[in-house]
Amino acid sequence: MPYVMFGPGTEKIDGSVHKDTYGFLTKLARDDTTPGLHIEPINGSADPRTRTGRVTKFWRAVLVKLQNRTGDQPTYIFLGTYPHDDAIELARTTRVRINPANGIAELVAAQSAPAEPAPVVQAPTPGPASAGPATLRSRSYTVDDFSALGFDADFAAGALDLTDEDAVLDYADRAPAAWQANALLDIYTGASFDTVRDTYRLATPATVPDSNDDAAVLTALEHPAAQMEFALVENDEALRAALANPNFAAWRVFLHPTQRELATKAWPGTARLTGGAGTGKTVILLHRARALQHRDPRARIVLTTFNRTLAEMLKEQLQALDPSIELASDLGRPGIYVAGVDALAYRLLATASARGADPGELTAAVADVLGSRTHQVLGNTWPRAWSAALESVAELPNELRSTAFVEAEYATVVLPNLVTDERGYLKVRRAGRGVALSRARRMAVWSVIEAYRASAAADGSTDFEEKAAVAARLLERSPDARPADHVLVDEAQDLSPARLRLLRALVAEGPDDLLLADDAHQRIYGQRISLSSVGINVRGRRSRRLTLNYRTTEQNLRYALGVLSGTEFVDLDDDPVDSAGYRSARSGPTPRTIPTSSLTDLYDTVGHVLGEWLDAGAAPGSIGLLVPTRKDGETLPRALGERGRTITFVDRDTTSSGSPMVMTMHRAKGMEFAKVILVGVGAANLPRAYQIEHLPEGDRPDALQRERSLLYVAATRARDELVVVYSGEPSELLPG
């Protein structure tokens, strides 16, 4: 059977012809001699290997036919579906060649039969030095420098005098090959030629490549830089998935060489991916899960994240990425097991508690973590338990009388250090906690914890922190029972010490054991912690930082980074986090900030922006309205309903219904929308005063930083357009 490869043009196929294109390609992949396909060469074409094929009466597919060295089955590179005449013109003028400077397969446009490379257009000589914007020419780059890397000389010449990043972004759209667009942007934003050479594997081939040799072209198509725009479609399911969603097709098949490397690389031990919002961390984890399964179909792979909603999204994306992926039937079975961290803990405890299981190990693990009590741990501690415990201890000073404070103390000090009695708590190191505690205060805090534990023990219940801690202990005590060979973790910045310890314990230390993806700027839950304190050691060069944002436009990205400016962030390795170097490969409108005079005015404005977008043809389900609190989210559908706009409030138990979605900024974590309105970002609403004011003084700066991160998370959900609406004074967190 012939092979089908997607090339540039695939992602631009007109929606009306998706179905027919799918039908055409399916038939082609089975048998290219099927009657009705009309695979035909073009008279006088620049490359004798181009073909057109009949999709419908009006539409034609453009293809390049390459003969494999072994066997007689050809590979067809599919370059998109076009109206008849456009297709003929494209097939007539397109040529596939191997770039002599770097061995990458690429498409070149030619006006006539096999043309020589385009002549080098010498750019004008620079004028007198001025203090103007830094162009590539003013930084002493020449066309020859770029040509030596394999850049098209005309393209490079046109880039030398561009004066800002926006202009480079727009210009990069015209690049003759995807790697050239990306590499140009890298160089403009400061990457050295050596870095670019490394990133895109630009090495001069040992011998002059022969572009007429089909087998050589097929090899050159496997170059990681060529794979940014050419990808072999492995089966019918993959074909269907790729064509079903043009956005999806873009990343499904075309990984950046750095992403490809990180998805397939063998790591000698625990590794970390860090990077700002939208830098493709999740995409790498998904591809890595798949690559690990390809490497060993019997491997037990756990793909996990902060909560159930995000885990469901991961599962859907994984199945869309490759419908042939084997999901594991249970934790500890071969295949990919996708679940939130708390679900993993519950699963382990439920198995250990099941009738017939030896309760000895569980009893011991519970005792290690919670002191001696019943090993009944599956029930959930009631939500008001901390408040009740606080009320029961009269000697606690008022400033410590906060559920958030004792919960944090419990999660970051007591549970990870396996403190089970007052003596232990009086001695334990409270590294990283904002509030210092005297001995008397420690004793009072311990009384609260004791009261909390006593009531839960009587109920046979635990909270989620405790479940994670007990499950981790269970595995630490029985290393042979570890249920995974590889663990991949998304949103790691939001995981508490107990949860990270559990993830560490799921898999034995060794090659490819644990890969964590995190972004310190997006920590919106929990406290700052360090990985080494929970036994996770990421050594040497096993931490990689991603800086290219695939989601948001450059304009939205700059706006979101403005939210972070002026504050210092520290990551899971206790290192300062830098937001410099983040960039986007897309350009779009500048975010709009709209002040309003009252709540009524605010609702009118939101309704108006929504109407503007919908009237311009935006898909309703691609619009997100993000609000600071659940109450705001519940109110908004009614307020907009009165203005003739239907929107749906989405929370844990409800999903979207095709209309614009309103949700809390917390709920929007990990999601993305084409257009986003941040609704109600006034001084009275964000930072949320109630999240900060009741905390002891020492814990407030961290809480304020989480509010800042929340706004950053929300602003980075927008792919194309971002609008911020508030009434009264603007939030202090908004960029100035």
Chain residues in the site for ligand ATP (CB under 6 A): 250-251, 254-256, 259, 275, 277-283, 519, 522, 550-551, 670, 672, 716
Cβ neighbours around 149 below 10 Å, total: 20
CA-based torsion, 122, 125, 131, 137: positive or negative:
positive
- The answer to whether the annotation marks 356 as part of a ligand binding site is no
Answer for the pair 73, 2: CB distance below 8 angstroms, yes or no: yes
Query: Between residues 283 and 331, which has the closer beta carbon with respect to ligand ATP?
Result: 283
**Vertex 229, ends 227 and 234: CA angle to 5°?**
65
The CA–CA distances, whole Å, from 270 to 497, 538, 543, 717 equal 17, 5, 9, 29
Query: Between residues 504 and 521, which has the closer beta carbon with respect to ligand ATP?
Result: 521
Residue 583: burial class (beta carbons within 10 Å; 0-12, 13-18, 19+): buried
- The answer to whether the annotation marks 315 as part of a ligand binding site is no
- The answer to whether the annotation marks 278 as part of a ligand binding site is yes
- The answer to whether the annotation marks 644 as part of a ligand binding site is no
CA-based torsion, 32, 33, 39, 42: positive or negative:
positive
- The answer to whether the annotation marks 275 as part of a ligand binding site is yes
Q: At its nearest, how many Å lie between ligand ATP and the CB of residue 551?
A: 4
The CA–CA distances, whole Å, from 174 to 86, 159, 681 equal 18, 11, 38
The CA–CA distances, whole Å, from 150 to 88, 95, 171, 190, 574 equal 29, 17, 18, 19, 40
Query: Between residues 147 and 317, which has the closer beta carbon with respect to ligand ATP?
Result: 317
Give the integer Cα–Cα distance in Å for 246 and 238.
13
Q: Which of 494, 473, 263 is nearest to 271 (CA)?
A: 263
The CA–CA distances, whole Å, from 74 to 5, 29, 214, 215, 496 equal 11, 10, 10, 10, 53
Q: At its nearest, how many Å lie between ligand ATP and the CB of residue 329?
A: 27
- 421 DSSP 8-state letter: S
Query: Between residues 54 and 523, which has the closer beta carbon with respect to ligand ATP?
Result: 523
- The answer to whether the annotation marks 424 as part of a ligand binding site is no
Query: Between residues 250 and 367, which has the closer beta carbon with respect to ligand ATP?
Result: 250
Give the integer Cα–Cα distance in Å for 84 and 720.
32
- The answer to whether the annotation marks 280 as part of a ligand binding site is yes
Q: At its nearest, how many Å lie between ligand ATP and the CB of residue 255?
A: 5
Q: Which of 393, 376, 355 is nearest to 466 (CA)?
A: 376
Strand 486-489 and strand 300-305: pairing? parallel
**Which residue's Cβ lies closest to ligand ATP?**
550
Query: Between residues 348 and 714, which has the closer beta carbon with respect to ligand ATP?
Result: 714
Q: At its nearest, how many Å lie between ligand ATP and the CB of residue 80?
A: 17
Query: Between residues 279 and 304, which has the closer beta carbon with respect to ligand ATP?
Result: 279
Bridge partners, residue 649, by sequence: 662
Q: At its nearest, how many Å lie between ligand ATP and the CB of residue 309?
A: 13
Task: Supply the angle between the helices 359-370 and 341-353 in degrees, to the nearest 10.
Answer: 130
Q: At its nearest, how many Å lie between ligand ATP and the CB of residue 275?
A: 6
Which amino acid, residue 196?
A: V
Query: Between residues 278 and 660, which has the closer beta carbon with respect to ligand ATP?
Result: 278
Q: What is the CA radius of gyration of the chain?
A: 29
Query: Between residues 560 and 636, which has the closer beta carbon with respect to ligand ATP?
Result: 560
Q: At its nearest, how many Å lie between ligand ATP and the CB of residue 243?
A: 16
Q: At its nearest, how many Å lie between ligand ATP and the CB of residue 282?
A: 3
Tokens 């998304």 sit on residue:
490
Binding-site positions for ATP: 275-282
Binding-site positions: 275-282
